[in-house]
Each structure stands twice: as C-alpha cells, then as structure tokens.
Amino acid sequence: MDSLTTAYLKEVMGKMEVYGDRVQFGLTSPGPCPYYQLTNSAEKKMAFDSNSHLLHPKEDEFVGPNATPVFTLEQIKTAIAAGGFRSVGVTRVSSAGGRVVSRSGGTRGGAVAMKAKDLIDAARYDYFRNNRATLPDGIGEHTAEITDLMLKGSSAEDAFGEVVKRHF
C-alpha cells in the first residue's frame, strides 16, 4: 500500500465513480501496482488489472490474506488529498470524529501515509456515525473485534453485523 502513487489512486478513483463505491486491492498482483476489485451498492463486483483494464480474477484473488480491507471512495479521496499511501506520517480519525494528522520525518516527496488500520478506523467510525440510530447500545465495547474482522477483509457493514449477531 505504501507504494501506491496518487496518479494510480486517481485512476482507481475514476473507476470507482463509475462502477462501485468500494475498492479492495489484491496483494498477490504482479508488478508495482496491484489489481483491484470494485463493489457497488448492489454488491456486484468488477475487477481491474494494474492498468485499469477489466480483469477476470482468480477465485482467491480478493479474499483473506490475498487482499487488503475494503476502502470507500471517501477514503481513497482522502488518500489522494494526503499524497497517497506513502510513508511520512499517519492520518487517523479520533473517537470524536475529528481528523488528527501526525507527521514524522519524510521520504518520497513529503507525502502523508495512511496505513490500512487507519483507513479501517475511519471506515468503522463512518459506518458507526451513519448507522448509530440502528445499532444497539454498547456496540462501542466491541470496537477491537470489529476492527479485527475488518482487518481480515470484512466490510464495516459486515463486521458490525457479525458483532451484533454474536453479542446482541
């Protein structure tokens, strides 16, 4: 993820605006830019190679340890605005919902890094904020479990649903 450039992310964002508002990157793709899979609101999936050409993925290409967590269009836009996923610092969302940016020494042109966990935290909070009224009281006590599910590839919606099923 650290090697993804803003130019590549802009290509991905362009496809997301047309084909699906969520993206997952393959971790087994050859070359410097990974294959990616878009998912739309009807849960239809479409995969693209590193040149943004339509791809027929292998059965296990976007599952489990072979793929990143799911990122939203908003998270990709944030990564682009921050200069990509490159290494320099970390952007995270605090529990109060405000963005906190911390920067450390720079490499690669001063781009701000957004690590996968930070994006998961942002997606988790966005889902919570948008669905607070329908979620059970006490769901916040299971934040670590929700994050773990998302790190394993579940979407925020699926992770929250699984925790609600297990505990409420």
Contact 92, 121 (CB under 8 A): yes
**What does pTM read for this prediction?**
0.53
Q: Is position 159 within any domain? A: yes
Total number of domains in the chain: 1
DSSP 122-166: HHHHHHHHHHGGGSPTTGGGGHHHHHHHHHTT--HHHHHHHHHHH
Q: Is position 16 within any domain? A: yes
Q: Is position 138 within any domain? A: yes
CA distance 112 to 131: 29
Q: Is position 1 within any domain? A: no
**pLDDT tens string for the chain (168 positions)?**
667 888 899 999 999 999 999 999 998 888 778 999 999 999 999 999 988 999 998 888 898 888 888 999 988 888 887 777 653 333 333 233 333 333 333 333 332 334 556 677 778 888 888 898 999 999 989 998 998 887 777 788 889 999 999 999
Contact 153, 64 (CB under 8 A): yes
Which pLDDT does position 116 carry in this prediction? Answer: 59
Which pLDDT does position 115 carry in this prediction? Answer: 52
Which pLDDT does position 23 carry in this prediction? Answer: 95
- Kindly compute the dihedral angle of the four CA atoms of residues 18, 111, 82, 121, in this order, to the nearest 10 degrees: 100
Structural domain of residue 32, as residue ranges? 6-167
